[in-house]
Structures are given as C-alpha cells and as structure tokens.
Chains A and B, each alone.
Chain A
Amino acid sequence: MSHQPDKSHQPADMSLEHDKDHQLDARRLLCPLPVIRTQDAIAKLQVGELLTVTSTDPGAKMDIPCWCRINGHEVVEIKEQDHEIIITIRVMAEK
C-alpha cells in the first residue's frame, strides 16, 4: 500500500496500533453499494485507521468523497488505474 498515514494529523490520543490500513473490495458493485460498504466498514474501524476502497463504479469517485464530507472523514487519495477507482480514507471522529 503506497499511502502511509500522516502522523502529524493524528489525534493525540490515538495509539499506533490503530494506525492500520484496511482494504475494501467494492468491485462490480454499483452506486450506492460502494458507499454502503464503505459506511459499514468505517463503522467497525477506529479513529485514525485507513480504509482503501477499490471500486469499478465511476460514480464512486463522487459519492464516496461526498459521504466522507458529510460524515467528517478525510479522503487521503483518489486514483484511477485499469478502470478502477481507488480511494483511501482516514477515519475521523464523526461530526
């Protein structure tokens, strides 16, 4: 995984063991399922952890960042390769 968390943005009380990278395969799912799967995955993660979502739905590029803005999570990176959209999210304390 190429994205390493930026430790300077971590909440002070977060331990490094929470600083893990999780993968979510949302290929072959269409909107809004990639968002639902992201929402459900993040609900199980700790503040500061990273989730990388891989989707084949072009709509995910707008919808997942929109969901993150609404709920206060940080989109670390969005990239596209081989018709796949790969979005890395840092879990934040919900708004």
Chain B
Amino acid sequence: MKPQAMEKQRKAVALISGGLDSMLAVKVIQDQGIHVEGINFFTGFCVEGHTHAVRKKHKDKQKRNNALWVAEQLGIKLHIVDVVEEYKDILLNPVHGYGKNVNPCLDCKTFMVKKAVEWIKEHDFDFIITGEVVGQRPMSQRKETMPVVAKNSGSADLLVRPLSARQLPATLPEREGWLKREQMYDFSGRTRKPQMALAKQYGFDDYAQPAGGCCMLTDENYAVKLIDMWDNRPSREYELDDIIMLKMGRHFRLAPHLKIIIGREEGENNFMQGYKGLFVSIFPTSHPGALCLVDGEFKSAVELNQALALVARYSQGKNAPEVTLSVRQIDGTEKEYNIAPMAVDDINKEWII
C-alpha cells in the first residue's frame, strides 16, 4: 500500500510587540497546529528600552523586554531585528503622514510587514500574523487602512489578523485550508474587553500595556523634544545616540545652538556618564548633584553661566550661596567655576522642552 504523503507543517511568523494582542494572535494560530516564531523590529523608539531599565521611578515595572517575555510564555523563538537605519526614512518621510504626535503608524506598520515578507521568503515560512484589531487604532488599524498595509507591504493575502479575521476578506492560509476561519475572531473597535476575556480563557494574567503604548513616537513629551531637535539642527537626520538622549534627563534649550541635559536621578546620571566622551559635561564638585551634558556650544559667558547656574540649581547645593562645578571637555580637560544656583523664578519657562 502506498504510504500517505505527510502534510507539510505550515509555519507562520508573528509580529511581536510584547503586548497582549500579538500574544493572543499567536496562541490562536498555534491552536490550529501552525508552527509560529516571533519577529520584533527594533526602531530605536521602544519605550521600555529607554526608560524602565534606567530610571528608579519605574522600579515597579519589570526590567524586562516584553517581546522576549511573551515569546518565552508562548514557547516560541523570537528574532529581534535591528532596523534603526532603515527606519529613519520611515520617520523622516512618511507617505501617509504622522498621527497625533510624530508617529508614522501607517507607514511603520507597512514597513514592518514588508520586512516580515522578506523574512518569510528567506526562511521558508508560509504566512505572517499580527495582533491587529479592526478599528482599534486611529491610524493603522482602521478597516480602510488595514488593506493598505497588506497591499503596500507586498504581503497581499499572506497577512492574517487572527483577532479580526472574520471581519476581513479570507486570506490564502484560509483558502488553502491551513487555517479555519471559524476558529479565529471578529473583534473590532477600541474596547479591550474581548481581548481580556480571551486572555482569561488562555490563562494569561500578566501582560504588558495595550499596543501603541510601546512607541516613544506616540508620546507627546518625547515628540516635543524630537521636534525641538529637528528645528534646531540644519538637518533632521539623526543617530541612535540622539534619540536615546531625548529620553534622558531634563532638557533646556538655552539657544538655537545650545541645549543642556541634566540627569534626573542616579540611574540616568550613571547612564549619561557613558556619553562624556561625546559631549562636554558639567557636574558639581562641592556638592552631590546631577550630571549635565551639553548638546551644542557656548557662544558667550552668559550662556555658560546660565548652564552652570541651572546645574547648580539641580544639585544638593541649591540653597547654598555658591556651588563649585567642573566643566569637562570631550578630551578630558576640566576647569572649575563657582556660581550661585539659579533661583526657581529665574528659570525661563521657554527654555524647558
């Protein structure tokens, strides 16, 4: 008797953000016997990477990468891909514009799915899944824009959204019988209740914030700092260190050519120490206090004195008549200055970014 041919094990790659929706999407597809691996794209703007690890303020938050944690919970491999360089063009020139802040969500999602298409071709996988839900996000997850992502990314009908599949046209994996449409969902809208109910059903009781909360570009305070950087440089081009520093410390724009960044706490000061070889730095020597990095240059003694007085203000000598500070050049040479800490009322509100 002729042996029956073994049916090919179908494989999907899931875009894993670390949030609940992608976690659920993977589980729904795993339950249909599909081998799933995760992929996570690092753009440089991930919230957890720039904050929780460094700041004591966030000590209640787990210092973990949520995408990795999700992958481990699901028992899947996770491929983290550095797309910092390629992502610059998405952020600087979004075809579909920005959302509320500087978030190019539609172009970003299209870009990530396009990268996933390249990945599945290279690794012989069959299709892509995401945790997107129709109507959940104002820009990239609307019923009108979700087909745009599929079309512009080149994923066509290889892109499956298991949480909203029954609201969307059938995809290739459904037509081929690899996936059963009735075993996927028809979630829509901004409510999180169906996802939370499904999470309960699966026994997931620890998960990260909803999708979208993991990108700094959706954060208003971050957007203001990024726009300030763009406005005060000859070009909007940026390096990874630039966008990391936007998340660190208090930022004061003293002049178009001069910004200072003062650490807010020990964790930031420790981290900022690593940048003393790239920036001129200021730190108090007579009192404990914060490290300051100088982005730009002092063109006058007035500007230098403003910076010194501000750094003194954020030291433990803020009530002393005078604080001694050291200004360290990038080459390591240092010079000391004495200055009276700036009074709160003298801090120009327009300096604060």
Contacts and interface: CB of A to CB of B under 8 A. Distances in A.
Nearest to B274: A28
Contact of B270 (A39, A63, A71, A83): A83
Interface residues of A, number: 23
Given A58-B54, A70-B77, A83-B270, A30 B244 contact: yes
Nearest to A66: B68
B65 A63 contact: yes
A69 B64 CA distance: 14
Interface string B52-65: 11100000001111
Contacts of A57: 53-54
A27 B274 contact: yes
Given A36-B80, A62-B64, A63-B64, A30 B54 contact: yes
Interface stretch (B24-32, B43-51, B94-102): B43-51
A66 B82 contact: no
B238 to A, nearest CB: 16
Nearest to B18: A32
Contacts of B46: 31-32
A35 interface: yes
Contact of A32 (B52, B54, B68): B68
A33 B49 contact: yes
Contacts of B65: 31-32, 35, 59, 62-63, 66
Interface string A35-55: 110010000000000000000
A70 B78 contact: yes
Contact of B80 (A30, A39, A61, A69): A39
A88 interface: no
Nearest to B67: A32
Contacts of B244: 30
Nearest to A40: B82
Contacts of A28: 271, 274-275
Contact of A30 (B53, B77, B270, B275): B53
A95 B37 CA distance: 12
A21 B46 CA distance: 32
A56 B274 contact: yes
A56 B271 contact: yes
A61 B64 CA distance: 9
Given A30-B53, A31-B53, A36-B82, A61 B68 contact: no
Nearest to B77: A70
A58 B77 CA distance: 23
B42 interface: yes
Nearest to B46: A32
A51 B197 CA distance: 43
A59 B69 contact: no
Interface string B247-277: 0000000000000000000010011001100
Interface centre among B46, B53, B275 (most CB of A within 10 A): B53
A69 B73 CA distance: 11
Interface string A56-95: 1111011100110111000000000001000000000001
Interface of A: 27-28, 30-33, 35-36, 39, 56-59, 61-63, 66-67, 69-71, 83, 95
The 7 closest A-B pairs by CB, nearest first: A59-B53, A28-B274, A31-B49, A59-B63, A63-B65, A66-B68, A62-B64
